[in-house]
Amino acid sequence: MKASWVAEEEKSKVLKMSGADMLMEALEKEGVDVLFGYPGGAVLPIYDALYKRNIKHILTRHEQGAIHAAQGFARVAGKPGVVIATSGPGATNLVTGIADAMIDSLPLVIFTGQVATSVIGTDAFQEADIVGITMPITKHNYQVRKVEELPRIIKEAFHLAQTGRPGPVLVDIPKDISTSIGSYKPSNEVDLPGYQPTTIPNLLQVKRLADAIAQAKKPVILAGAGVLFAKAEEEILALAEQHRIPVTNTLLGLGSFPSEHPLFLGMAGMHGTYAANTALHECDLLIGIGARFDDRLTGNLAHFAQKATVAHIDIDPAEIGKNVETLIPIVGCAKHTAAALLRESTTSGDTEEWVCQLAELKNSYPLWYKNEGDVLKPQRLLEIIHEETKGEAIVTTDVGQHQMWTAQYYGFSKPNRWVTSGGLGTMGFGFPAAIGAKIGKPELPVVAVTGDAGFQMTLQELSVLQEMKLPVVIVIVNNQSLGMVRQWQEIFYEERYSESLLPVQPDFVKLAAAYGIEAASVTTEEEARAKFAEALDSKGPFLLDCRVASDENVYPMIAPGKGIHQMIGVKP
Amino acid sequence: MRRIITATVLNRSGVLNRLTGLMTKRQFNIESITVGHSDDPSISKITIVVQVEDDRKLEQLLKQLHKQIDVLKVKDLTEMALVARELALIKVMTTPETRSEIKVIIEPFRASIIDVSLENVTIEVTGDNDKVEAIIELLRPYGIKEISRTGLTAMPRGTQKTVYNLNQFSII
Ligand SMILES: Cc1ncc(C[n+]2csc(CCOP(=O)(O)OP(=O)(O)O)c2C)c(N)n1
Ligand SMILES: [Mg+2]
C-alpha cells in the first residue's frame, strides 16, 4: 500500500520536457561547460534550448573548425570535447575531424541533427546517413528513436568516449525527437554488457615482464599517448629510473617523459633520432606502453625489434599483436600496469653498458641542421619558440615539415601540452585545435605552429580568435610550399615539384589585419625572437608570418619501405 | 583457413552493418553470414564463415569483433565438436521419367520435395556444407534452374571430447 503511494509520488515528480531540454539537462549533468558548434535547420530546437542555458558555445566559422577545436580541448583539458552540428552538410563537414579523433583516440561526444523521423530514408532536404557514414570512424554511434532514450544514450556516449581506449561517439538526433515532449528520467548508471574494458592487468603477465626486465641487458621503453591518457608519467619515470631503462616516445607520446632527462632518447620513427631508432633496432626487450606500433614508427616490420622480446601494455586488446608479434601481452591501463610493475619488479638487469652506448649515440648523432647565412632556418625558429616559452607552452601543429620540426626541436618537458594530428595527418588541424586548447587551459600560453599551406585550410577561424580575444600565437612556418610534399618529390621523384610550390600567397599580415588581429612578418632569427616575445606578451591574438628557408628538409629520415636501421641524413 | 565464428550481439539497429563493415575495412573475406535472434529477442546470434590467412589475422578478427560495443561474446567454433547446418532450396528440371529417379537420389540425404510443377521440382535439404554440395553435384546432370542457400549456422555440441581451450589470445 505504502510502496504504491511512494511510486505515485515519484511519478508526479517526473519532469516533462522536450528532447532538446533533456539534452541540455544531460550535458549539465555531465559537467559540460563549453560546446563547439554551428547551427542549422535540424538543430534549431537544440539551439533554442541552449539559448536559455548557461553553457558556453563557441561558434566556429566552419564545422571542421568546431571539431578540431573540440579535439584540441580534449587533448589538454582531460575531458571530452563536445560538438554540435546540423544534419546533412553540417554533419558531413565533421567527418575529417571524427576520423582524426578515432585514429588518435580522442574523447569526443558529437551531436548531429537529423531530419524528422517521418522523412528519414526519403532523401529529404539536408538528409545524410551520418550514422552509416561514421560507423567505421566512431568508437560507437547512435540514432535516437524515442525521446525517452535520450538521457540513457547521452550517459552512455560520455562513458564510452572517455573510458577504456578513448574515442569519438556520435549521437544523431532527428528534429522531431528534439521537439517532442517526454518524461525526463536522469540516467545515473550505464548498462553496457558488451563493453567492459580491462584496466587492471593480469598479474601473471606483469610478473613475466618483471622477469624479462631482470634478465634484460638492452631494454627500451616506447611510451605512447596511452601514457598521457592514463596519466602514468610518474610511474613510467620511476620505472625507467629504477631499472635504468632508456625511453623513447612515439610522435603522440611526446611529453610523457621529460625531454631533458638523460635516459630520454628523443622521438622514434620516420623522423626520429638515430639513437632512438637504433635502440628499437638493437634492443633485447621492448616495452611498448600505450603505443600502437604504427608504420610511421616501425618502418619496415621485417627490421623492427627483431632481436627483442616484445612486451606490449595497452588498454585495447586488439592493438596487441596487431602489427608486432608480442611475447608478453598485457591488457590494462598504463597507470595501473606501471604501478603493478613497480611493485613486482624488484630486480634490475645490468643495463649500464647499453645506457652508455645509447648516450654516446645521442651525443655523436644529435639532430642537426646548418644554420648559415641570413635566412631563418625553421629548426632554429622552433628552438627559439622553445627558449622563449621554456618548453612549457601548449603547442599545436598542422601537418607537414613544420610538424616534424616541432616534434624534434620543441622539447616538451611537461605532459599534455602537445597537440598534433598524428594518425590521420590532417592539414588544417593545428590552428582550430589551438583555439580549443586555449579554451581548455586558459592559464597556459598556446602557440599554433602551422604551415603556410595548412593554415589556409581552416584560417576562417581567425574570426573566432578575434571575437574571443584569445591570446593564441599563430606561427606560420612559411616556406612557400607544401614542404613535406616538396621534400618527397626532391628525394624520391627526382625534384619534379608537381603541384607542391606555393609562391602565390595572401599577405598574411594584411589578412590578419582584416580580421583585426595583430601580426608581423619576420625573416631573420633576431626579428623572429623579438616578435615572438612580443606576441607571447600580447594580451590578444597574434599572427607571426615567419619567412623560413624554402628548401630545407626534415632529417634524419627512414625512407618508405626501409627498416628502422636504414636512416638517411643522420649527419650533416 | 576457413573458420566458423559466432558472435552473440545486442539486437540493436545497425549491428550487422557494424560487423560486416569492420570485416570489409580490415579485409576479411566473408563466405557466409547468418543472423537470427536467440531465445531472448533482444539478443541475436550471428554465425560467420570466413577465410583468414593465419592465426595472427584470426586473432585480430576475433578481437575486432569483440571490441564492438554491441557484441557480447565472440567464439571461434572451428576446432570444437560442433553441429553446423545450412539449408538449401534447389529447383531441378524434370521430365515425367526423371522425376522418380530424382526421388531416389535425394532419399539418402533425407531431403524432400516441397514444390512440384510440370517442368521442375523444388528440393529442400538441410545439412553441413559437404552434404549440401554432394546433393547439388548429383542433381546437376538433370539441370539446376535455381539454388538458394542460407549459409551456415552452428553450435558447439553438448559434450566436448577434450577440455577445449578457447583461444583467448591476449583478451585478458
Ligand atoms: C587534408 C590534407 N591534404 C593533403 C595532405 C598531404 N600533405 C601532407 S604534408 C603536406 C604539405 C603541407 O604544407 P604546409 O602546410 O605548408 O606545411 P610544410 O610541410 O610546408 O611545413 C601535404 C599536402 C594532408 N596531410 N592533409
Ligand atoms: Mg609550407
**Per-residue pLDDT tens digits for A301-335:** 999 999 999 999 999 999 999 999 999 999 999 99
Whether the Cβ atoms of residue A281 and residue A354 lie closer than 8 Å to each other: no
> Is residue A123 within 8 angstroms of chain B, CB to CB?
no
Q: Cα–Cα distances in Å, from A174 out to A35, A114, A118, A229?
A: 19, 4, 9, 33
| Per-residue pLDDT tens over the stretch A136-169 | 999 999 999 999 999 999 999 999 999 999 999 9
Residue A139 lies in a domain: yes
From A175, A335, A362, A438, active-site residue = A175
Sheet containing strand A81-85, edge to edge, reads A56-59, A34-37, A81-85, A108-114, A168-174, A140-143
Q: Which domains does chain B have, with CATH numbers?
A: 2-76 (3.30.70.260), 83-154 (3.30.70.1150)
pLDDT at A373: 85
pTM of the model: 0.95
> What percentage of residues in chain B have a pLDDT greater than 70?
94
CATH number at residue A480: 3.40.50.970
Ion ligand 2 neighbours (CB, 5 A) are A 451-452, 479, 483
* Residues of chain B with C-beta less than 8 angstroms from the C-beta of A135: 14, 17-18, 21
pLDDT at A372: 87
Tell whether A397 and A539 lie within a shared domain.
yes
Whether the Cβ atoms of residue A275 and residue A365 lie closer than 8 Å to each other: yes
The span from the CA of A23 to the CA of A325, in Å, is: 45
> Is residue B169 within 8 angstroms of chain A, CB to CB?
yes
| Per-residue pLDDT tens over the stretch A195-214 | 999 999 999 999 999 999 99
Residue A464 lies in a domain: yes
Tell whether A341 and A402 lie within a shared domain.
no
* Residues of chain A with C-beta less than 8 angstroms from the C-beta of B14: 131-132, 135
Mean pLDDT value of segment A175-179? 98
pLDDT at A13: 65
Tell whether A475 and A527 lie within a shared domain.
yes
| Per-residue pLDDT tens over the stretch B68-101 | 999 999 999 999 999 999 999 999 999 999 999 9
Tell whether A388 and A329 lie within a shared domain.
no
Mean pLDDT value of segment A453-473? 98
Give me ligand 2 centre to Cα A406, in Å.
14
Tell whether A214 and A284 lie within a shared domain.
yes
Domain C-terminal end among A337, A364, A391: A364
Tell whether A170 and A48 lie within a shared domain.
yes
pLDDT at B170: 44
**Beta pairing class for A309-314 and A285-289:** parallel
Is A139 catalytic? The answer is: no
Give the number of other CB atoms < 10 A from CB of residue B27: 8
| Per-residue pLDDT tens over the stretch A204-247 | 999 999 999 999 999 999 999 999 999 999 999 999 999 999 99
The span from the CA of A95 to the CA of A236, in Å, is: 35
pLDDT at A1: 42
Mean pLDDT value of segment A36-51? 98
Q: Is the pLDDT of residue A50 over 50?
A: yes
Range of the domain at A449: 378-554
Residue A458 lies in a domain: yes
Whether the Cβ atoms of residue A15 and residue A150 lie closer than 8 Å to each other: no
Domain count, chain A: 3
Q: Shortest CB distance from B71 goes to which of A194, A316, A329? A: A194
The separation between CA A133 and the C-alpha centre of its own chain, rounded to angstroms, equals 22
Give me ligand 1 centre to Cα A532, in Å.
24
